[in-house]
């Protein structure tokens, strides 16, 4: 026997395997639909310097605190008498001019944590800063709606806390075909089909079996449903552009996925910030513009809301390495068709009222944005998912 044929040759020929109840349940009961609105969440990983993104060029303190790295008025894409976009954000400005963008300033949370990992966890789990949760707010949305894993997709090789729920995880996918083909081997088919659900909840082994079963059903669904829709070829040829192209294909193929998550890394600019931030913001903005155009072409933009955040902003005062250190409150971008308050949602940051560490004070709790999206956009009980009540914004 040729070694290569192993898997096919050792198929467990047997017709007696039953389909477990668990799988049947998965396949037959249509999940209740909670509307067809979609949310695309983008994280600028590393802590984007919001002050050099949306630049308050009328503010003297900005120039005093950032002697080497402040952006000059004539370098900016001016939007009003007060602020301008970083020059790399031309594409975002195009969207802004069409009324598709709302910029929420001073978003943060009480007692901010300046660690990337902890603050990312806080944003992903929607916890208080002294509270440690093991599941993300999107994961809890899956729990709440008793959804399939395919309802929330992270376009990456591995799954973040954001999409992990108590009873249900979302899915990390970069390439549904590979995933689909991998699990069609007879051996796995048999292993999966011979499970009864009695042991599925048992510790780590149960977790492994559950993951395997989820992977199979989901890969099949995504693969079969994703038609080879032609997506725009204008996405930047890099990882982030590819991620957005994949999301656009999924949305335009009519997948039932409601939440997508992708990220752009590299914003931890402690040293020599200018060049790297310039490059990253360009990648971000260009991808967003192509993405929105792609959705419009397929008449899907009305149902999509795009949320861009970073785990924190940077300190107002620059450091001596031509960079900035970890900060707190930051701006958040919301992109969508029928925003209630287009343009600047609220005031620019107050640079003269800083906390003891020289950081911006937050005005809007990031969970108010989540609450608004859950309540007004996805139309579910936000308090049940966020474990707490938050006031809503006038956003959608």
Partner 1 sequence: MKSTHIQHLFNRIGFGITPKELKRLSKKSKHEIVDEIFSNSKNTTPVEVDLSFLKDLKPGDLKDREKRQEIQKIGRKKVNDFSIAWMDRIFNPKEILREKMTLFWANHFVCQNKNILFIQNYNNKLRENALGNFRNFTKTVSKEAAMLGYLNNKQNKKKSPNENFARELMELFTLGQGNYTETDIKESARAFTGYNHNYYAEFVMKKKHHDENNKTFFGKTGNFNGDDIIDIILEEKQCARYISEKIYSYFVNENINKNHVEEMTNLFYKDYNIEKLMRFVLLSDWFYNSENIGTKIKSPMEFLAGINTIIPYNFEKEKQVLLVQRLLGQVLMKPPNVAGWQTGRNWIDSNTLVRRLRLPSILLNNAEITYSDTGDEETMITDLKSKRLKRKAIIKTKVDWNSFEENYKKIDNKSLITHVLQSKINPGTEKILLENIDIPKKDFCIQLMSTPEYQLC
Positions in 90-129 near partner 1 (CB under 8 A): 114-118
Neighbouring-strand partners of residue 354: 360
Among 122, 215, 354, 386, indicate the residue that binds partner 1 (CB under 8 A). 215
211 binds partner 1 (CB under 8 A): yes
Separation of alpha carbons 312 and 268, rounded Å? 10
Instruction: Compute the least distance from the CB of residue 214 to partner 1, in Å.
Output: 6
Instruction: Compute the least distance from the CB of residue 221 to partner 1, in Å.
Output: 12
233 binds partner 1 (CB under 8 A): no
The tokens for 351 are 């640079």
Instruction: Compute the least distance from the CB of residue 302 to partner 1, in Å.
Output: 29
| Cβ contact 212:204 at 8 Å | no
360 binds partner 1 (CB under 8 A): no
Size of residue set near partner 1 by CB under 8 A: 74
Among 36, 68, 201, 321, indicate the residue that binds partner 1 (CB under 8 A). 321
Residues 6+ apart with CB under 8 A from 131: none
User: Quick check: helix, strand or coil at residue 24?
Assistant: helix
Instruction: Compute the least distance from the CB of residue 34 to partner 1, in Å.
Output: 23
Neighbouring-strand partners of residue 82: none
Binding to partner 1 in span 323-342, by CB under 8 A: 325-326
Instruction: Compute the least distance from the CB of residue 260 to partner 1, in Å.
Output: 16
State the alpha helices, DSSP H only, in the chain: 6-9, 21-28, 60-65, 90-97, 116-125, 137-145, 176-182, 186-193, 203-225, 239-252, 273-297, 366-372, 382-386
Binding to partner 1 in span 14-43, by CB under 8 A: 14
Separation of alpha carbons 118 and 111, rounded Å? 12
Residues 6+ apart with CB under 8 A from 190: 11, 12, 14, 17
Closest to partner 1 by CB, 158 or 299: 158
User: Quick check: helix, strand or coil at residue 106?
Assistant: strand
214 binds partner 1 (CB under 8 A): yes
Closest to partner 1 by CB, 94 or 129: 129
Closest to partner 1 by CB, 177 or 227: 177
Separation of alpha carbons 55 and 76, rounded Å? 8
Binding mask 257-276 for partner 1 (x = CB under 8 A): --------xx---xx----x
Binding mask 167-186 for partner 1 (x = CB under 8 A): --x-xxxxx-xxx-xxx-x-
Closest to partner 1 by CB, 9 or 347: 9
């Amino acid at each position: 026997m040729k070694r290569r044929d192993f898997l096919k040759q050792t198929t467990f020929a047997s017709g007696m395997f039953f389909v477990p109840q668990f799988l049947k349940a998965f396949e037959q009961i249509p999940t209740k639909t909670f509307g067809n609105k979609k949310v695309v969440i983008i994280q600028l990983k590393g802590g984007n310097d919001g002050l050099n993104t949306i630049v308050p060029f009328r503010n003297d303190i900005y120039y005093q605190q950032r002697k080497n790295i402040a952006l000059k008025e004539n370098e900016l894409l001016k939007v009003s008498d007060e602020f301008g976009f970083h020059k790399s954000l031309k594409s975002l400005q195009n969207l802004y001019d069409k009324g598709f963008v709302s910029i929420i300033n001073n978003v943060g949370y009480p007692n901010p944590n300046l660690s990337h990992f902890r603050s990312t966890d806080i944003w992903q789990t929607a916890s208080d800063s002294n509270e440690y949760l093991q599941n993300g707010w999107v994961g809890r949305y899956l729990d709440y709606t008793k959804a399939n894993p395919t309802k929330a997709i992270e376009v990456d090789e591995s799954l973040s806390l954001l999409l992990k729920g108590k009873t249900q995880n979302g899915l990390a996918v970069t390439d549904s075909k590979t995933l689909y083909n991998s699990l069609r081997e007879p051996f796995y088919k048999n292993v999966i089909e011979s499970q009864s659900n009695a042991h599925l909840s048992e510790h780590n082994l149960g977790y492994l079996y559950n993951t395997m079963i989820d992977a199979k059903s989901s890969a099949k669904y995504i693969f079969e449903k994703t038609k080879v829709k032609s997506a725009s070829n204008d996405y930047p040829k890099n990882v982030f552009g590819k991620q957005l192209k994949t999301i656009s294909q999924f949305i335009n193929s009519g997948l039932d996925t409601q939440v997508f998550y992708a990220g752009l890394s590299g914003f931890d600019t402690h040293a020599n910030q200018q060049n790297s931030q310039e490059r990253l913001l360009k990648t971000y903005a260009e991808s967003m513009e192509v993405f929105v155009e792609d959705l419009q072409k397929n008449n899907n933009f009305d149902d999509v809301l795009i949320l861009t955040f970073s785990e924190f902003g940077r300190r107002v005062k620059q450091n001596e390495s031509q960079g900035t250190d970890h900060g707190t409150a930051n701006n958040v971008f919301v992109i969508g068709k029928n925003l209630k308050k287009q343009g600047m949602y609220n005031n620019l940051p107050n640079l003269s009222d800083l906390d003891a560490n020289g950081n911006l004070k937050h005005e809007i709790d990031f969970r108010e944005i989540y609450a608004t999206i859950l309540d007004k956009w996805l139309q579910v009980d936000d308090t049940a998912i966020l474990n707490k009540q938050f006031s809503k914004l006038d956003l959608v």
